[in-house]
Structure 1
Amino acid sequence: MTGDDRRAPASAHFGHYELHEVIGTGGMGQVARATDTRLGRDVALKVMHPSTATDDEYRARFQREAAIVARLTDPHVIPIHGYGEIDGRLYLDMRLVEGRNLAQLLDRGLLEVSRSLDLLSQIGAALDSAHRAGLVHRDVKPSNILVDPKGFAYLVDFGIAASVTQQDLTATGQIVGSASYMAPERLQSPPRSDARSDVYSLACVLYQALTGSKPFVAGEQVQLISAHLNAPPPSLRQHRSDLPEALDRVVRSGMAKDPAQRPASAPELMDAARAAMSQPRRPVTPAAPRHAAPAAAAPRAADRPPQSHGATRTPGPGHGATRTLWVVAALMALICVAVVAYAIATR
């Protein structure tokens, strides 16, 4: 669903529902804030578009969504109060949740990494519940993730969800879903999908939540499809060099072309992402300047190597006094020799 601020006409009614402003619009129907006049409570009411109300395929999808959501009990899936048909148009009565979808939040700027991981871990839990029930959502994208003011996330719009045994094609041969987040196997011929297709889509959403950019961007849809089929998963670090390489590896593993190379479940993907962010970072040691020689401690006397013979020694304290004494002694010896020689000569 995407945000829409259009308002329903004042005092507009749909059966026993009084309609207020439109809060979302999708391919099959429109979601409005409404009041159930029988019970006196506000609800989110999804009603089929008049243009699709008579289309058997769309009616079958709408009814399937109601049946799917009704049997899921995960807290991150908005519960439904009931569903039925009024004046030939199918409707779905759901709990009204105040908040914004993830696409709207990202339009306002990047979220903190910890918040992105927290929100998408909640969505991973919702997907896991659907997968254990044998269902594939097939349309995981930011606009289908609703966040309330307390930070509680809901996965919405199960309109194209299917069992793992159902084909990914409509009766007219069209692929359903959002190409920006679609797994490669869903774009191949014949297309196929299972829980790991939703893991791929969740990894694409995680990439966008962390970087502000979709993993693949192209002007034409055929180029976008080609990128999902053939281009290697992009690196987070081309947008965010501050993110660790371990997290980059986790996200790229979620977008692996081969489903067997992806994490086996949505919680496994998100657990790995959180673990990657919790790993201690290695401190960076600054390199010494190239022009400065490393300082060396002066060796202790005991550590100094013995000097070789002939080496010049630096005179130490008292060395000059010792030399003077030797000179005096030599002079005295010469005087003594001179006195003896004189005595002999005068006999």
Structure 2
Amino acid sequence: MSGGDVSARRPARFGHYELHEVIGTGGMGQVARATDTRLGRDVALKVMHPATAADDEYRARFQREAAIVARLTDPHVIPIHGYGEIDGRLYLDMRLVKGRNLAQLLDRGRLEVSRTLDLLSQIAAALDSAHRAGLVHRDVKPSNILVDPKGFAYLVDFGIAASITQQDLTATGQIVGSASYMAPERLQSPPRSDARSDVYSLACVLYQSLTGSKPFVAGEQVQLISAHLNAAPPSLRKHRGDLPDALDRVVRSGMAKDPSQRPATATELMDAARSAMSQPRRSAAPARPPGPPSSPGGPGSAGGGTRMPGTAPLPAARSAGRPAHTARPAPEPAASVGGGGRATRTLWVVAAVMALICVAVVAFAIATG
């Protein structure tokens, strides 16, 4: 391979690799689709930029990336086939994943809630695996999440990852990573980070996936940094009024300024998000008009029949397997269920009419007799 970057116009050679096209570019180098001519398989080949290859700091970071990923066995971390140095340039040979990164998917708009929770739960598992190994990714963002056609997600680019117990290899005061997803503690002086810093970044990605917008948007880098340091976590409901308050609270907790107030693990964050979406949505019960129901046998009726004043209500039939409910006190006769009050009044009217008729008949008989 020549001293220039990988060319997409014609295949180039890099040792025993044949390079085809650039599929990604980062701070340390480029990733190309390549063919390992020894094994006859297509791979993703990351090659360090010539300008940085001679820098001891960058060389150390690149070499550490290979060692970091080699230590991880989670299926959502792209495995490494090999790494080394060819013609004075470092390289990393990884599995080639056919698909798109999350940033490309979000260019089309926000994702469905179920798909968001599924993809980011997979990434949470990868992060927790790295954290258990004592590693912090430090650059969780949509472009570092690959999704294959079957919906299997991979976390990639541990190029700026650092051991939890290790000093950063960057120069003093230099911040490495994507400011749009960066935890406040990483923006302070001196910067610090641990597993909860990745939880913050994942919460930012969760917010963007659900709303189609980054949590904080600013025209200048200093304004963006200030927002992460000082501004309250934004509400999902600003963009998605259809999402429940419980999910809003979960995302806000993941973006808490104080790391101790965030979920302890990435999986805990995503489990809480799933739980929030599975809770039934509460809605106000419609108001019922006063007075008895219009038809017997409706809700609240005692067997659907009419009862006379002073009689006890009939016991309601109980469905098999349904628990018994506490009996309600008998209603007053004037409001008896099933129209009993109206029936009583009707009987009295009929009786009065009949009495008047009888009186009239007797009077007529006397008069004619």
TM-score interval for Structure 1 and Structure 2 normalised by the shorter chain: 0.7 to 0.9
Post-superposition Cα deviations, 1:68-93, rounded to whole Å, max 9, x if no partner, equal 11111111111111111122211111
Post-superposition Cα deviations, 1:11-45, rounded to whole Å, max 9, x if no partner, equal 31111111001111111100000011122111100
Q: For 2:234 and 2:251, how far apart are their aligned partners in 1?
A: 9
Q: 1:321 aligned to 2:357? A: yes
Amino-acid identity (%): 82
Identify the residue that residue 292 of structure 2 maps to in structure 1: 296
Q: For 1:65 and 1:7, how far apart are their aligned partners in 2?
A: 24
Displacement after TM superposition at 1:325 (Å): 5.3
Identify the residue that residue 171 of structure 1 maps to in structure 2: 171
| Letter of the structure 1 residue corresponding to residue 118 of structure 2 | D
In structure 2, relative to structure 1, the CA distance for the partners of 1:181 and 1:260 (3 Å cut) is same
Q: For 1:58 and 1:222, how far apart are their aligned partners in 2?
A: 26
In structure 2, relative to structure 1, the CA distance for the partners of 1:118 and 1:304 (3 Å cut) is closer
Post-superposition Cα deviations, 1:184-233, rounded to whole Å, max 9, x if no partner, equal 11111221110011011111111111111111111111111111111111
Identify the residue that residue 141 of structure 1 maps to in structure 2: 141
Written as runs of structure 1 = structure 2, the 5 A alignment for 1:26-37 is 26-37=26-37
Identify the residue that residue 271 of structure 2 maps to in structure 1: 271
Identify the residue that residue 77 of structure 2 maps to in structure 1: 77
Q: For 2:255 and 2:169, how far apart are their aligned partners in 1?
A: 22
| Letter of the structure 2 residue corresponding to residue 205 of structure 1 | V
In structure 2, relative to structure 1, the CA distance for the partners of 1:169 and 1:328 (3 Å cut) is farther
Written as runs of structure 1 = structure 2, the 5 A alignment for 1:248-259 is 248-259=248-259
Identify the residue that residue 345 of structure 1 maps to in structure 2: none
Q: For 2:293 and 2:158, how far apart are their aligned partners in 1?
A: 72
C-alpha contact (below 8 Å) 1:22/1:30 kept by paired residues:
yes
Q: For 1:68 and 1:89, how far apart are their aligned partners in 2?
A: 19
Identify the residue that residue 3 of structure 1 maps to in structure 2: none
Q: For 1:287 and 1:217, how far apart are their aligned partners in 2?
A: 44
C-alpha contact (below 8 Å) 1:169/1:175 kept by paired residues:
no
Identify the residue that residue 160 of structure 2 maps to in structure 1: 160
Structure 1, unmatched stretches of 5+, are: 1-5, 307-312, 336-347
Q: For 1:38 and 1:300, how far apart are their aligned partners in 2?
A: 93
Q: For 1:142 and 1:11, how far apart are their aligned partners in 2?
A: 29
| Letter of the structure 1 residue corresponding to residue 191 of structure 2 | P
Q: For 1:24 and 1:72, how far apart are their aligned partners in 2?
A: 22
The TM-score normalised by the length of structure 2 is: 0.80
C-alpha contact (below 8 Å) 2:52/2:58 kept by paired residues:
yes
Identify the residue that residue 67 of structure 1 maps to in structure 2: 67
Identify the residue that residue 113 of structure 1 maps to in structure 2: 113
C-alpha contact (below 8 Å) 1:168/1:191 kept by paired residues:
no
Identify the residue that residue 196 of structure 2 maps to in structure 1: 196
Displacement after TM superposition at 1:167 (Å): 3.7
Q: For 1:91 and 1:169, how far apart are their aligned partners in 2?
A: 19
Q: For 1:76 and 1:321, how far apart are their aligned partners in 2?
A: 94
Q: Single out whichever of 293-302 and 161-170 deviates more from structure 2.
A: 293-302
- Tell which has more relative contact order, 1 or 2 (C-alpha 8 A, sep 6+): 1
Q: Single out whichever of 313-322 and 268-277 deviates more from structure 2.
A: 313-322
C-alpha contact (below 8 Å) 1:168/1:192 kept by paired residues:
no
SS at match of 2:264: coil
Structure 2, unmatched stretches of 5+, are: 1-5, 295-305, 310-332, 336-340, 342-347
| Letter of the structure 1 residue corresponding to residue 171 of structure 2 | A
Identify the residue that residue 187 of structure 1 maps to in structure 2: 187
SS at match of 2:33: strand
Displacement after TM superposition at 1:159 (Å): 0.6
SS at match of 1:317: helix
In structure 2, relative to structure 1, the CA distance for the partners of 1:30 and 1:66 (3 Å cut) is same
C-alpha contact (below 8 Å) 1:168/1:175 kept by paired residues:
no
The TM-score normalised by the length of structure 1 is: 0.85
Displacement after TM superposition at 1:285 (Å): 2.9
SS at match of 1:318: helix
Identify the residue that residue 130 of structure 1 maps to in structure 2: 130
| Letter of the structure 2 residue corresponding to residue 296 of structure 1 | P
C-alpha contact (below 8 Å) 2:57/2:169 kept by paired residues:
no
Moved over 6 A (4+): 329-332
Displacement after TM superposition at 1:172 (Å): 5.0
Identify the residue that residue 205 of structure 1 maps to in structure 2: 205
In structure 2, relative to structure 1, the CA distance for the partners of 1:39 and 1:169 (3 Å cut) is closer
Q: How many residues align?
A: 318
| Letter of the structure 2 residue corresponding to residue 190 of structure 1 | P
